[in-house]
Amino acid sequence: MGLAVAVPLAFAALGPGGPFGSLGGGVAGAVSASLAPVATPPPAATSAPTAAPPATQPGSSGPEAPPVVVIPTAPAVASLTGYQWPINVGRISLPFKAIPGGEWLNGRKLWHDGVDMASFCGARVNAAHDGVVLAASRHFDQQIGWIGDLQPYFHLLDVRHMWNDLPIVVVIDDGNGYRSIYAHFRDVNVRVGQHVKAGQQIGHEGATGHASGCHVHYGLFSPFETKQFGVRADILRRLRLPKQVIARVDPLAVLPGGEVALRTRQIAKAIAAANAAAAAAAGGPISVGPMPVR
């Protein structure tokens, strides 16, 4: 029997009542981007660390001092700019928060690791930030921050013919130390290596990955983050996944009007509020993102 979900990000089909329930719940109780760390060793850096040249004394014939290794760190979420909403109308169906049926472990709490937003099947989905496409298909796991060996999981997908159970996912390097993850596309129109701009179309809203309905799951993380999320025990048993993944942050912390979206669940109201606030701060009309299509 095929699983209702075969990988995190298709996890939206795993609900609070059991492994195949539908997710629900309101937006009350969502948390900030400051996450409780899981007490596990930090992951290896995803890009090679840089080494400072050794300091040598003129005329010295002794051994050179060892190079100083500089490990990249995750930029502060508050420093991120230039983000837009992936869809311009619709509602927040599930925010970044602890939920009874969460797939991830943030400390001891089960967690939903991104923001689910929904408008209608086939709606245009845009890049939230400028960047370079790292994945644009059902083959995306190597780009979403797993810490450990994925080969047992890939072997399971092969022998059980489960690749089509996965969602269609786009992963984009936002060029600022973070990656954006978009899941459940009906189809995509970008390719690996392509440069995209914020607001550029990357695909159409869908329900791949056995989602309970058409929506966009949007997640955000830094490859340089040392905090980690764990994975729910029953998922580990079924799918032979690594036990940890790099921790995610709340996308509503970077999307314009995120607080309004959390309170009202309405994306159009969040965009309008952000535009009004930017205009007031600038002393005149200004737009921080597309206005809703009416």
- CATH number, domain of 136, equals 2.70.70.10
Instruction: Note whether residue 118 is domain-resident.
Output: yes
**CA distance linking residue 234 with residue 241, whole number of Å:** 11
**Domains in the chain, number:** 1
Q: For residue 45, what are its two tokens?
A: 């850096």
- The pLDDT value recorded for residue 19 is 29
Residue 124: its H or E element:
strand 124-126
Read off the pLDDT of residues 74-132 as tens digits, 9 standing for 90 and up: 999 999 999 999 999 999 999 999 999 899 999 999 999 999 999 999 999 999 999 99
- The pLDDT value recorded for residue 68 is 79
**CA distance linking residue 247 with residue 258, whole number of Å:** 20
Instruction: Note whether residue 34 is domain-resident.
Output: no
Q: For residue 73, what are its two tokens?
A: 């760190």
Mean pLDDT of the 287-293 span: 57
**CA distance linking residue 20 with residue 1, whole number of Å:** 13
Contact 158, 146 (CB under 8 A): no
CA distances from 44 to 41, 72, 84, 90, 113 (A): 9, 10, 30, 38, 21
Q: Provide the CB-side half-sphere exposure for 103 (13 A, CA).
A: 30
pTM: 0.77
- The pLDDT value recorded for residue 10 is 42
Q: Which residues are within 8 A (CB) of 277 and not within 5 positions of it... i.e. 6 or more apart?
A: 257
Read off the pLDDT of residues 128-182 as tens digits, 9 standing for 90 and up: 999 999 999 999 999 999 999 999 999 999 999 999 999 999 999 999 999 999 9
Instruction: Note whether residue 59 is domain-resident.
Output: no
**CA distance linking residue 53 with residue 210, whole number of Å:** 52
CA distances from 17 to 102, 107, 198 (A): 10, 21, 37
Residue-range definition of the domain harbouring residue 277: 11-20+76-282
Of residues 290 and 177, the one with the higher pLDDT is 177
Instruction: Note whether residue 46 is domain-resident.
Output: no
Mean pLDDT of the 199-221 span: 97
Contact 208, 9 (CB under 8 A): no
Mean pLDDT of the 230-257 span: 97
- The pLDDT value recorded for residue 94 is 97
As to burial, measured by CB atoms within 10 angstroms (0-12 exposed, 13-18 middle, 19+ buried), residue 143 is buried
Contact 203, 168 (CB under 8 A): yes
Instruction: Note whether residue 173 is domain-resident.
Output: yes
Instruction: Note whether residue 185 is domain-resident.
Output: yes
